[in-house]
Amino acid sequence: MKIVLLGPPGAGKGTQAKFISEKYSIPHISTGDIFRKNISEKTPLGVKAKSYLDAGKLVPDEVTIDIVKDRLSMKDCKNGFLLDGFPRTVNQAEALDLFLNGKGEQIDTALLIDVPKELILERMTGRRVCPSCGASYHIKFNPTKVKGKCDACGADVIQRKDDTESTVKDRLDVYGKQTQPLIGYYEKQNQLSKVDGTGEIDKVFERVINVLGAVGK
Ligand code: AP5
Ligand code: MG
Ligand code: ZN
């Protein structure tokens, strides 16, 4: 399966991506995670990306597109992949289509996780993430089993720097202007599928499996 996950910040893309990538044995590729890893390791890419992430702005397309192409060229993407947080602009979506078409391939679906704006702020400000394996938690909706420690790998979970109320608002604004047009883009290509992202995490996953099962047929 070749899947693109769409949805506003805080929709649960990263949360569902963990389950989907396990179920379908495909790599979970999150551009946000790639940027954060590079920032924490202070690589040249990290130095370039940091100010954009801190401000909730998009890293320029010319940087982001090449990173994803390189990643998709790796062996583990041969049987499929799950893109989380990419594409985020129409330009990125076109570049992805071109890249895949060049190999005679295309995505199976762009899956939109639909969550109303009102729910997002609480999800984001209560989020804790694992800097080591990328797992996502929530102090109220999805707490770690041991306080402050990642269930999957035991590392200390942290709060993302861009999860403050004002940066979340900026990110939602960027989403509306630059990313939301992708819904129409994929709809036009008959590649859009949608799930309701409200309710409990495992209920959302059930809906995701149903939708992906229908796509796979
Ligand atoms: P990125 O890391 O992609 O952030 P985002 O899109 O803003 O999305 P989030 O990771 O915030 O939300 P999510 O949907 O993954 O939600 P999660 O599952 O964690 O990007 C960060 C930055 O990197 C961007 O601002 C930009 O600067 C840069 N960037 C990345 N990609 C780029 C690109 N392609 N081009 C240019 N720049 C790029 O869930 C959120 C919280 O809710 C968690 O606490 C979770 O536990 C909780 N939760 C999840 N599901 C539920 C549920 N059903 N009920 C209750 N709580 C839930
Ligand atoms: Mg995420
Ligand atoms: Zn972890």
**Count of domains in the chain?**
1
- Predicted structure pTM score: 0.95
In this structure, is residue 99 part of a structural domain?
A: yes
Interval 10-43: pLDDT, tens = 999 999 999 999 999 999 999 999 999 999 999 9
* Ligand 1 atom showing the smallest separation from residue 84 Cα: 3
Write out the H or E segment, with its range, that includes residue 84: strand 81-84
Residues with active-site annotation: 13, 88, 127, 160, 171
Domain hosting 184: range is 2-26+79-116+166-215
pLDDT the model gives residue 65: 98
Q: Kindly give the interhelix angle for 44-55 and 61-72, rounded to the nearest 10 degrees.
A: 120
Interval 65-95: pLDDT, tens = 999 999 999 999 999 999 999 999 999 999 9
Report the chain's terminal Cα–Cα distance, integer Å.
11
pLDDT the model gives residue 134: 85
The residues of the chain scoring below 50 in pLDDT are: none
Tell me whether residue 58 is annotated as binding.
yes
Q: Which protein residues have a CB closer than 5 Å to ligand 2 (ion)?
A: 14
In this structure, is residue 48 part of a structural domain?
A: no
In this structure, is residue 146 part of a structural domain?
A: no
* Among 86, 179, 170, residue whose Cα is nearest residue 120: 170
What residues does ligand 1 touch, defined as CB less than 6 Å away?
Answer: 7, 9-15, 31-32, 35, 52-53, 56-59, 64, 85-86, 88, 92, 123, 126-127, 136-138, 141-142, 171, 199-201, 204
